Every structure is written in structure tokens, then in C-alpha cells.
Chains A and B, each alone.
Chain A
Amino acid sequence: MKSKRIMSLIIAGVLSATMLGGCGSTEQGTSDQNSSGESKKLTLVMSQRDEWLSTLDAAAKQAATDLGYSLNSLDSQSDANKQIQFVETARNNGEKAVIVNLVDPNTAGDIVEAAGDMKVVFVNRPPADLSVLNENVVYVGSNEMTSGKFQGEWLAQYFKAKGQTEIKYILLNGILGQVSTTNRTKSVLQALKDNGITAVEASAPLACDYDRAKAMNQIGPLLSTGTKYDCIISNNDAMALGAIEAIEQQNMDPSEKPIVGIDATADACAAVKSGKLAMSVFQDPKGQGTGAILAAINLLNGKAINDGIDYKLDTENPNIEWVPFEPVTVDNVDDYLNK
């Protein structure tokens, strides 16, 4: 009885060891074919894998394969400690470059330290302190200050065409304190002001954590109490779609007053097409994923980070590469529906 138990344990141990080893050796087989002399392995450490980041992840893998590299993609599951550990392990494993989608932008300095001699490419989320960037540590992402700008410009044009220069808006905020939330809100309000629109809040700003259901719950009561507003500005599409849902539940027409979002998700593009969502702003996950891989390989080969791709470097800091945002309206939504 006892020996049987021990046997089953040994089998379990062997099994799990071979599972680890087995999965690994297939990967290694392919990487061996690639590696002619030097290691052609890259590691991508994701903060988490939501829908958008998964698209980035997949594009990065594709880009690496196309360029003859094997990419090991790891999920930190929103754990900054685990992220540092992954970076150190990649270094211990003798890899030459690591691409990091930061869990906490404040840990960038420690990530660079953990990376040692490896080249580091931060993707999508910029380090809180940009002074960690140098010729071996770069950032590839989209400038959040321009996403809100597209919303603001579109709204300004819309209201000017109606001859209206004073508007009341409802603002759906993402996670308060996050750089993306702060910059998206700041830039949309700035763009309205710059384009001659006096915008005042129709309600207290609502913090809906980028969450569709939270936006629905928060905007519902505003509608039923008859709050007067001219437009709804949302930090992302999920919350904008939540607002549309809430408006429809009150038997009102969401296309009557413009609602603007950011991300151009598949659902949002469908809503733009049907006229329920006025516009969204496309943040390009494939562009960021591809751009980051290319930047890493360019760093390894001593080339400019945007070599071979059509993205511009920041005018002040050459270690930042911007992947542009693009406004999505009913006029060009068909281009994004299948993106």
C-alpha cells in the first residue's frame, strides 16, 4: 500500500518534469534551427493578457517568427514582483534582449537593473521616469496625449457645425491615477479648449475603471434623473458601450447626442458603423507589438530602433518610438472592422 503510494508520487513527479521538459524541447528544436552561432531568442514579459494586449502579444510573436527569432511570451498576471523575476530569469538564461509591458511604471528602473546587459524595450506602458531610457533601453508605444486630442477635435468640429460653442459633457474615467486615464482626460479637455469650445461638466466625473458594467450602473441614474448634457466622453470603448447600453435601456436614442470612445475594439467599430457611437480612436496593438520586436532586433544589430518600420521617433527623446493613434469615424470604420 505504502510503496504503491510512493510509486504513484514518483510517476507524478516524472510526469510533471517531462511535461515541462517535453513542452520545452519542442520549442528548443525550432530555436536550434534558427540559431546559427548566436542565440536568436527573445523574451516578452506581458503585464497581463486582456483582449487588446493579447492582440499585441500575437502580433509580436508573428513579427519575431517572420524575422527568424523565437519569442518566449510570459504573463506576469499583474504582479510586479513576478515581472522582475521573469526578466532576471531571461538574463540568467543568457538572452540578449527583453521586451517588457510594465505592470507598474514605477518599477522600470528595477527592471532595467534586473536586465543587466540585456537590451530592454518597454512596450505600450511607458516608464514613470523616462530618464531610465538610453541607447540600450527604449520605449515603443502610443502617445496618450494624442488619443484624447482626436476625441476633442472631432467634438469641436461637430458642435461648431451646429453653431454651438458651449457644451456640457459627461466624463467616464478609467482607473483613476493611471497615466492613460489622466492623459486621455487631460488631452480631450485641452483639445476642446484649443478649438474654441467652452466645456463644462454636466455631472461629477464618473470613475468606471474602464469597465462596461460600471459605466452602465453609473450613467443609468444620471439619465433617469434627467441630467442635461450634450455629449459623453469616455476614456475607452468598453465604458462608452456601457453608456449606450444604459441609454437604450431608458428607451432613448444613443445617436442623438455624440458618445466618443478610445480603442476601436470590434464591438466599438460595429457601434460606430450603426451610428450609436460617434467615433473612437484606434490604438494599434499590432503596430506596437511589431514595433517593439523590431526595436529589440534593431538594438541588437546596432541600428536605429525604427529602422525598417514607418514610425517616428520622439522629437526630443530619440529613445522613444511613437506608434500613431488613428481616429475612427463612420467614414473610415470599414478599414478597422476586420483589423
Chain B
Amino acid sequence: MSNTLASKRDFDIKKFLSQNSIWLVLVIMVIGLQIVSPVFLSTNNLRTMLEGESIKGILAFGIMWTILSKGIDLGAGSIVALVSVITASLVQPIGVANKLFPEMAALPGWAAAIVGIAIGALIGAIVGTIIAYTKIPPFIATLGTQLICRALAKIYSTQPVSNLSPDFRIFAKGKLFEIIPSIVIIFLIIFAISGFMLTQTRFGKNIYAIGGNDHAARVAGINVERNLIKVYIWSAVCAAIGGVLLAARTGSADPSTYGLNYELDAIAAATIGGTSHTGGVARISGVLAGILVLGVINNGLVLLSVDDNMSNVIKGIIIVGAVIIDMRKNAAKK
């Protein structure tokens, strides 16, 4: 075991550049953009970009685990919607317009957030259990979550839930040292937790093993089912945090549009960042770069007045290109 780890570390150093190629792409894009539009690297603009990408980024730090385990999570965007609507309904002060429960006093912001995250964890546990024990493809199981959670959100409220209390909105609108938005800090915390679990815990190593070869992992004594359930709980918890933050950032929660297609952007970020859909390969720094690359594209097109359809063309090319490179890399390994 220690032997393989050592040789793996050796391998990493050799392939450092090719492994971190996405960072290279990012740097080139940043330099190019800065030359054409000097406002790009201004504090305000960087803050805008990070604030905007934080929610999808948090989703990506969850979804990358499902991809690493050779699965996928298509339900994340709908979990965002469901959790945002539920938590929003808990923090509407009495007397505001469109209050969903007119008689109920608002919960403290942190309590509502915990309720939201707990709901996410519950959904993740259910989906994870179904995937682990029935062995149905995660694509199908999470497609089910997507449909059900979106519908539940719409049943829960037929209209946007708005006028949320300030002590809830602080999660997205607060600022550390008057400059770093709290939403970005939460994004960095999730990045750190996800990275720590991935590299420093048995759980993380187990998921690499399961994604690489689940039979071998089972033979090696790993409880595949339990680990898979944990993966889907984590992914759903990340989505739930995203839902809480989305409601806090916009001050509203619309069951029909919130979180729509967020899972696809998160999957794109994870994929661009080198998370392999054949399982067993993922790097947290790569995913971070993937998120930033998408952020730079989104931001750059506005600064440069590019037709926004063009940005989707560029995104599409980068995603497909990243997967082609990724597959060649992995093929070379085998």
C-alpha cells in the first residue's frame, strides 16, 4: 500500500504540468482578458465574479464526488430549488407581503439554514441508499430526484417566496473586513472541507478505490454501499447549502426557476477540472480551476460585449476538449 502511494506521488510530480493544465488555460485566459479589458482584475469585478460563481462552485465540490465514484448527480439543481423555497419560507418576518405561512414567526437565520441542510442530507441519504442497494444507474436515480424535488418545490409554494429577514440574508450579503463577501468565504470553506476529505481521510481514499474498481474495493474490505450513501449525502448537502445561499443572495426563492440546470454547470466545472467520468480520478484543485474558468468566461463576455451565445460555444468546446484530453491521459496510464 505504502509502496503504491509512494510511486503515485512520484508520478504526480512528473505529470505536474499536464495534471495542472487547466490552471495554465486559466492563467492564459486571465492575462488575455486583462489586456483587452483592464477592468477585469479590479477588486470589484473579481468580487462580482466570485460571488456569482460561488453557488455553482459549491455544487461542483459535491458533484465531483459522485463523478469520482463513477456516478453522477442530476438532482442537485432541484435540491437547490426545494431547499431555497423551504428555508426562505422559514425566515419571512410576520406581516410582509406574500408570506407563505402568515401566522408563523420567522426562525433565526442559522436555524433555517440548518433545517435546509438537514433536508438536503435526508434527500441525499434516500437517493444514496437507492443507488447503493438497488444498483440502478445513478443517472436514473438522480434524474428521479431532479423531477421529484422540483415538483415538491412547486407544491410547497406556487409563487416566489420573498421578503426574507436580514439575519438570514447575511449568509450571502455579509462581508469580512468589509470586503470579502460571506458567500465567497463559505465557498472557500466547502472547498477546504471537500479537499480535506478527499485527500486526508479514509472516506476520500475509499471513494477513489470504489470509482477506480468497485469489485477490487469490495475485495479490499471497503463497505461500498455505505461509502456510496455518504457520497450522495455530501453532494446533496452541498446542493442544499447552495439553495440556502441562493435564497440569501437574491432575497427570494422561486420554485420554478431557481437552481435550473445548476447541476449541469457544476458537472461541467468538475469535468473541465479533470474529474474523470470513468471514475477514480479527481483533483480538488482542478475542480476549483474549472469553476474559475467558467467564471472568467461568464464574466469576460459581459466585459467584452460578446454575444452570449458565443460563450456557450466556447464553454462547449472547452468541456468536450477537456474530456478528450482527460480520456487520453487515462488511456496512457493504462
Which A residues contact B (CB, under 8 angstroms)?
A: 1-2, 5-6, 8-10, 12-14, 16-21, 23-25, 27-28, 31, 41, 43, 70, 72-75, 77-82, 84-86, 88-94, 103-107, 109-110, 128-129, 175-178
Contacts and interface: CB of A to CB of B under 8 A. Distances in A.
A267 to B, nearest CB: 25
B290 to A, nearest CB: 14
A23 B51 contact: no
Contacts of B44: 88, 91-92
B298 interface: yes
A17 B28 contact: yes
A100 B114 CA distance: 34
The 6 closest A-B pairs by CB, nearest first: A24-B304, A17-B32, A177-B159, A85-B52, A106-B162, A106-B252
B251 interface: yes
B17 A72 contact: no
A20 B52 contact: no
Contact of A84 (B160, B250, B309): B250
Given A18-B32, A21-B33, A106-B162, A89 B257 contact: no
B164 to A, nearest CB: 9
Nearest to B293: A16
A315 to B, nearest CB: 23
Interface in B279-334: 297-310, 314, 317-318, 321, 325, 328-329, 332
Nearest to A16: B314
B250 A107 contact: yes
A1 B333 CA distance: 13
Given A21-B35, A85-B298, A110-B249, 10 more contacts: A5-B18, A14-B32, A21-B33, A27-B304, A72-B302, A79-B260, A88-B48, A92-B39, A92-B44, A176-B158
Contacts of A77: 260-261
Interface residues of B, number: 65
Contacts of A13: 24-25, 27-29
B299 A107 contact: no
A13 B297 CA distance: 12
B42 interface: yes
A9 B304 CA distance: 23
B308 A75 contact: yes
B314 A6 contact: no
B172 to A, nearest CB: 10
A6 B18 contact: yes
A290 B100 CA distance: 37
A20 B186 CA distance: 30
Contacts of B25: 9, 12-13, 16
B158 A177 contact: yes
B52 A84 contact: yes
Contacts of B229: none
Given A25-B36, A82-B52, A92-B45, A20 B160 contact: no
A180 to B, nearest CB: 12
Task: Pick the most buried of A10, A28, A91, A103: most chain B CB atoms within 10 A of its CB.
Answer: A103
